[in-house]
């Protein structure tokens, strides 16, 4: 049985024809358009624009919500998002105080640049934070490199591993399924303020090198689900990614940067392999920052 979203995509393709097939991957801009704009952009009659507009509004999973002046005023006076400090001064300064609830963080860099260690630091920080309720953290391990003993070292031996849900991921479709499972857990009442995905690009994504459309769709599905979890549940999402060659850009940057509130590039210092240089390349509502840190037996230190 096809999903409502799948039926809508078929409907759009039938209405727009193969000439406009590319729009099926960009439903949000279409949803934000008025009937007159749809008529102009898609070069279709007004009656067809009306039908498409109604179908989009009634079927799209996350309808656009326009914030009015009164609601903006109430948002301005509401408490700030929860900020979880890491306890490592240079990292907290890099993050403008710490990790924020409901935000998506992408940490990318070459192998051995400390991405997984940053995930361990985030897990310990969230389990230590006084949320006032039973707290769990979820981890999706696509690299098959998660080490519980390393997490305990970060926590100085004071960590209850029963509070960490760990799921091993074997493929990109499996990643999408696991994200759906975690979303369902939270809808049933589980309090999971942090989700770590290490990494967002499983090795199996290479199987789709000859199928760029399928590869792109899998990345979009995963990114969309992570973004929805962060917004629907106020969960902080931290996912790791590889760098695009020697460039300070993440793999599939156009897709994944768009879904990231923050993006941080990490790399080993050329002059000192024991030092990691980290630089914020994207930040919502703040300046770009940079720092250096070291990774020792007890984790990340300034």
Instruction: Indicate which CATH number applies to the domain containing 170.
Output: 3.40.50.300
**Domain range for residue 188?**
83-301
Q: Residue 75 falls within a domain, yes or no?
A: no
Q: Residue 265 falls within a domain, yes or no?
A: yes
104 and 50, same domain (yes or no)? no
13 and 94, same domain (yes or no)? no
Provide the domain count of the chain: 2
Helices 172-187 and 212-233 pack at an angle, to 10 degrees, of 20
119 and 48, same domain (yes or no)? no
Tens digit of each residue's pLDDT, the chain (302 residues): 555 556 666 666 676 665 555 554 455 566 667 788 777 767 778 888 888 778 777 765 555 555 556 666 665 665 567 999 999 999 999 999 999 999 999 999 988 899 999 999 999 999 999 998 899 999 999 989 899 999 999 999 888 999 999 999 988 889 999 999 999 999 999 999 999 999 888 766 666 666 777 778 888 889 999 999 999 999 999 999 988 666 777 876 667 888 899 999 999 988 887 899 999 999 877 778 999 999 999 999 98
Residue of 221, 208, 207 lying closest to 255 (CA atoms): 221
Q: State the DSSP code for 73.
A: H
189 and 43, same domain (yes or no)? no
46 and 167, same domain (yes or no)? no
Q: Residue 121 falls within a domain, yes or no?
A: yes
Q: Residue 160 falls within a domain, yes or no?
A: yes
122 and 42, same domain (yes or no)? no
Beta-carbon neighbour count of residue 202 at 10 Å? Answer: 23
Beta-bridge partners for 294 = 275, 301
Q: Residue 67 falls within a domain, yes or no?
A: no
194 and 236, same domain (yes or no)? yes
111 and 237, same domain (yes or no)? yes
90 and 47, same domain (yes or no)? no
| pTM given for the model | 0.74
Burial bucket for residue 217 (CB in 10 Å: 0-12, 13-18, 19+): middle
39 and 135, same domain (yes or no)? no
CA pair distance 225, 221, nearest whole angstrom: 6
Q: Residue 238 falls within a domain, yes or no?
A: yes
40 and 148, same domain (yes or no)? no
Go through the chain and tell me how many residues it has: 302
Q: Residue 113 falls within a domain, yes or no?
A: yes
100 and 34, same domain (yes or no)? no
């Amino acid at each position: 049985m096809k999903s409502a979203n799948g039926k809508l995509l078929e409907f759009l393709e039938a209405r727009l024809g193969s000439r406009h097939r590319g729009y099926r991957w960009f439903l949000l801009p279409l949803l934000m358009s008025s009937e007159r704009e749809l008529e102009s952009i898609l070069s279709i009659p007004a009656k067809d624009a009306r039908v498409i507009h109604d179908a989009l509004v009634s079927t799209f999973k996350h309808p656009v919500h326009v914030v009015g002046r009164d609601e903006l005023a109430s948002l301005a006076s509401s408490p700030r998002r929860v900020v979880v400090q890491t306890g490592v001064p240079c990292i907290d300064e890099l993050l403008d105080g710490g990790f924020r609830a409901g935000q998506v963080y992408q940490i990318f860099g070459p192998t051995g640049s400390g991405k997984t260690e940053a995930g361990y630091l985030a897990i310990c920080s969230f389990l230590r934070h006084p949320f006032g309720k039973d707290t769990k953290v979820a981890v999706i391990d696509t690299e098959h490199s998660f080490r519980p003993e390393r997490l305990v070292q970060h926590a100085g031996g004071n960590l209850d591993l029963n509070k960490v849900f760990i799921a091993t991921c074997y493929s990109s479709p499996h990643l999408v399924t696991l994200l759906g499972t975690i979303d369902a857990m939270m809808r049933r009442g589980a309090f999971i303020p942090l989700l770590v995905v290490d990494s967002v690009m499983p090795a199996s994504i290479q199987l789709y090198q000859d199928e760029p459309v399928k590869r792109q769709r899998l990345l979009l599905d995963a990114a969309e689900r992570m973004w929805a979890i962060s917004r629907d549940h106020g969960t902080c999402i931290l996912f790791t990614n590889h760098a695009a060659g020697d460039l300070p850009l993440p793999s599939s940057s156009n897709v994944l940067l768009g879904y990231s509130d923050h993006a941080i590039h990490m790399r080993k210092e050329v002059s000192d392999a024991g030092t990691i240089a980290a630089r914020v390349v994207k930040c919502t509502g703040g300046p770009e920052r940079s720092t250096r840190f070291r990774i020792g037996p007890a984790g990340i230190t300034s």
